[in-house]
Amino acid sequence: MQVISGLLLSLFYESRRNFSFDSIQYLIIEVNNGWLIRLIHFNIVSLFFILVILHILKALFYFRFRLKKISFWAATVITSLIRVIPIYGKQLIIFFWRGYYLNSFSLKFFFILHFILPLIISVLVFFHLFFLHNYRRSNNLFNSSKLNKRRFFPFY
């Protein structure tokens, strides 16, 4: 479905800088059911990712309650991938495992890390949005009102 709608869209899309938006506008307004082809094309991707996330969540919850040792196994396998990093891989494994093998201290470390990292990331995102909103962008290229501007309202 994605490939077919992409091929149909590529028949009407002009990739030159001055005509790209006009070609999308032409597709939506002038082509019969062009709006539907475009809608199908970008909504199928969202649906695909939602289904992938639901599939992963189903697998995680199904295995989580079915097998008690799956978290230990997953932590061992996933963190063992760090070992392939040249030069520092073995030292990083010892740091993450808190020793030479995965034990209860390393599982506590991962448990604490899985709470602290989202907290740190959300605080950084908050401050990023706060400063971006209050102090604008540092790029003055798009702040000038003398530029030839085009409204994207009906389409985006």
Give the start-to-end residue ranges of the domains of the chain: 1-66, 88-138
What CA–CA distance (Å, rounded) separates 35 from 27?
7
What CA–CA distance (Å, rounded) separates 43 from 16?
25
Burial class (CB in 10 A: 0-12, 13-18, 19+), 38: buried
What CA–CA distance (Å, rounded) separates 82 from 96?
9
Band the pLDDT of 123: cuts 50, 70, 90: very high
Residue 137 above 70 pLDDT?
A: no
At residue 121, the pLDDT reads 92
Is residue 64 within 8 Å of residue 70, measured between CB atoms?
A: yes
Residue 124 above 90 pLDDT?
A: yes
What's the pTM? Answer: 0.39
Is residue 14 within 8 Å of residue 20, measured between CB atoms?
A: yes
Residue 154 above 90 pLDDT?
A: no
At residue 120, the pLDDT reads 94
Model confidence pLDDT, tens digit, residues 33-92: 988 998 988 888 889 889 988 988 887 777 655 555 666 777 777 777 888 888 888 888
